[in-house]
Amino acid sequence: MTALEIAMAGCLAFGHPTGNYYEAITTHSGLQVIHADGAVTLRLREERRERREEPGATLDIISLKDEYYPFEVVRHVRVWNDCAAVETWAEIRHSEPGPVRLVRADSFAAPVAATSDVVRVLSLTGTAKNEANVSRSSVGNGQTVELVSRAGTRNAWEANAAMMVEFGDDVGEERGKVLGVALEWPGNSCRRVRRNWDGSRTEVFAGVDMTTGPYTLDPGVTFTTPKAILVWSENGRGEVSRTYHRWARRHLMPHGYDLHPVLLNSWEGSYFSFTERTLLDMMDGVKEMGGEMFVLDDGWFGRGKFARDEKNKAKAGLGDWCVNKAKLPHGLGWLADEAERRGLKFGLWVEPEMANTNSWLYEEHPDRILSEAGRPPICGRGKSQVVLDFCNPAVRDNLFGQLDAVYAEIPSLAYVKWDCNANIWNPGSPYLAADRQPNLWYDYAKGYLELLKRFRAKRPRVMVQACASGGGRMDFGSLRYADEFWPSDCTDPYRRIFIQWGCSQFYPASAMACHVTASPNHQTKRETPLKYRFDVAMTGRLGFELHPKDMTAEEIAFAKAAVADYKRIRPVVQRGDLYRLVSPYEKPLAALMYASEAKDAAAVFALGLKIDGGRTETLKLRGLDTDARYSVREINCGGRLHLVGGARFIASVTGRDLMERGLDITLFGEYDSAVFEICKNEQSR
């Protein structure tokens, strides 16, 4: 079986081609509509099928039309030549005399032929500062497991838009049948896995969530479902993850193979309390440690009584995108020049979708805000945060103009952190007509993507970080335009091991921003060694979020060496294949490795959790060339060496040995960790 076969089966099941309405209900079709005349049936017949060769891919287009109503579904299935991920989506349109209501319009809906007694669903769930917990449950006969997220914005928290369906009891990292289903969508979404009464049939669905009300589709308008990305593997979850990572780097992310810089973000180092001097000191500090970019986080904007300053903190200013001259008298362009003078790039935090009720924007243009007529607004952060009406193109245009003027002040702008710190708690759009209010959820998400796309088109080289109070926007929809995520506001390395483990199930390491922060950790108060904080952060895109002035000379020296080590292994971490070796859900440590596609380099991480005393573990490596010879060197050493026997360097060992016999390592006590750099020896055969 292949992902393509599964996708094509979807084409047939989609819209229940038999036209039997009873069957349509009982098989839970992925498409359900209410026609302009109130009828609820569909009898779709295939009209046309076309195959188009695209650069690097083949696209099948299948047009289905209703026998009676002028209603059409055009299914798309794209297969990439260089990676086993299949994209599938549908366009829905009609020319009925009035609007049609879409009760359900999934991106993908299909029976999956893999027979097995056990079907499990793996998904990611969580909340603020506790994202991407891996959750697994089995689907019993006659049961449906449903994963729904309805926050409007921070949807990756409750139910991340990706899941794996495991067939059989023997599924592991490197074995077993697994179907990956991910949506390229930041909006409300729903995935379902359903088994019939005797378990002989498993159906899988994924699409936009419509339980907040049907989508009203006018004649002549096309509703495009988000893309579903399917990956099928008979070799376990690891292969599914690696395929998603490759697909994302090659075919989704704007610059999937660019190396991401080591940066310092100002947030945890200063929060809202900074002057120009604070920021210059931070720049000096990160430069000294080998960093490459400085990012100014929240607190730089707003004016007058609504300035986002130390007094107002998060209570004011969102929506007024002009630099706060009282705080930064020389402006943003000057700051970016100061960064450039130090050889650093410059990045800026923004929160485009939001306003505070304490803002000039809210005072002057309340009609730009999502709100429910007659009800006082439910406000989020700072008891004053509300969401702009991104369904309204004029609101988006205005915002684009405001932010563009800010960016224009910073010709060297290299990075934008796009944050989003509220859900849609007031689901009313002043722009949409009364009978179109349920369209808000889909139209909002489209509006967000449209703005990101516009930003990209105008500033193609500027990196974007998708952040939503941490990992609320960890989805492939955002990653089409963004370069990375901020997976969590929790920067405690112990908790990050789990969060990053979850993230790695679908999203590539280069997109996983991981920052070394102060100890005790600001969120959990946990104290951990600096080495541990580095080792955990080095498994993704390394950065800092602290004030370097608070570090001792020894810590700075350690950090300098760690950054140099990271830069050496960065290509393999950010572009390599991930192999998860030991799960933190099963043992008191996590072990993982990245191996280059050419199998000539690798980096191995062993990250201890609460280890009592010491623990020896054999790490059987993966992804190497069996017959090649490699050297193994422990890097980022903080005193103790971790290879059993005490060596720091092994000059020559075969890939076979590393994979079959493995590396014996010991972790000493809690929060201990080790990193190994593996290089293929020249003339190694």
Query: Residues with catalytic annotation?
Result: 419, 489
E strand or H helix at 238: helix 237-247
Least CB distance from residue 382 to ligand GLA, whole Å? 10
Rounded to whole angstroms, the Cα distance separating 177 from 116 reads: 10
Supply the DSSP symbol for 387.
Answer: E
By C-beta, is 485 or 558 nearer to ligand GLA? 485
By C-beta, is 421 or 505 nearer to ligand GLA? 421
The residue length of the chain stands at: 685
Which residues, 383 to 422, sit near ligand GLA by CB under 6 A?
419, 421
Question: Of the candidates 412, 441, 415, which has an alpha carbon nearest to the alpha carbon of residue 429?
Answer: 441
Rounded to whole angstroms, the Cα distance separating 424 from 401 reads: 23
Rounded to whole angstroms, the Cα distance separating 18 from 27 reads: 12
Least CB distance from residue 162 to ligand GLA, whole Å? 21
By C-beta, is 389 or 419 nearer to ligand GLA? 419
DSSP for 507-571, written as a single string? S-GGGBEEEEE-SS-TTT-----HHHHHHHHTTSEEEEES-GGGS-HHHHHHHHHHHHHHHHHHH
Rounded to whole angstroms, the Cα distance separating 134 from 503 reads: 9
Question: Of the candidates 203, 227, 190, 183, which has an alpha carbon nearest to the alpha carbon of residue 79?
Answer: 227
Give the residue closest to ligand GLA by C-beta: 298
Least CB distance from residue 304 to ligand GLA, whole Å? 20
Question: Of the candidates 672, 591, 607, 606, which has an alpha carbon nearest to the alpha carbon of residue 639?
Answer: 672
By C-beta, is 356 or 469 nearer to ligand GLA? 469
Least CB distance from residue 470 to ligand GLA, whole Å? 5
Least CB distance from residue 349 to ligand GLA, whole Å? 6
Residue 349 binds ligand GLA, judged by CB under 6 A: yes
Residue 298 binds ligand GLA, judged by CB under 6 A: yes
Other Cβ atoms within 10 Å of 544 Cβ, number: 30
**C-alpha distances in Å from residue 238, one per residue of 233, 248, 324, 422:** 9, 15, 48, 33
Least CB distance from residue 328 to ligand GLA, whole Å? 16
Which residues, 423 to 482, sit near ligand GLA by CB under 6 A?
467, 469-470
Least CB distance from residue 489 to ligand GLA, whole Å? 5
By C-beta, is 357 or 469 nearer to ligand GLA? 469
Question: How many of the chain's residues bind ligand GLA (CB under 6 A)?
Answer: 12
Binding test (CB under 6 A) with ligand GLA, winner from 14, 89, 267, 671: 267
Which residues, 309 to 328, sit near ligand GLA by CB under 6 A?
314
By C-beta, is 15 or 470 nearer to ligand GLA? 470
**DSSP-based three-state secondary structure for 366:** helix
Other Cβ atoms within 10 Å of 288 Cβ, number: 16
By C-beta, is 239 or 309 nearer to ligand GLA? 309
By the criterion CB under 6 A, which residues form the site for ligand GLA? Answer: 267, 297-298, 314, 349, 419, 421, 467, 469-470, 486, 489
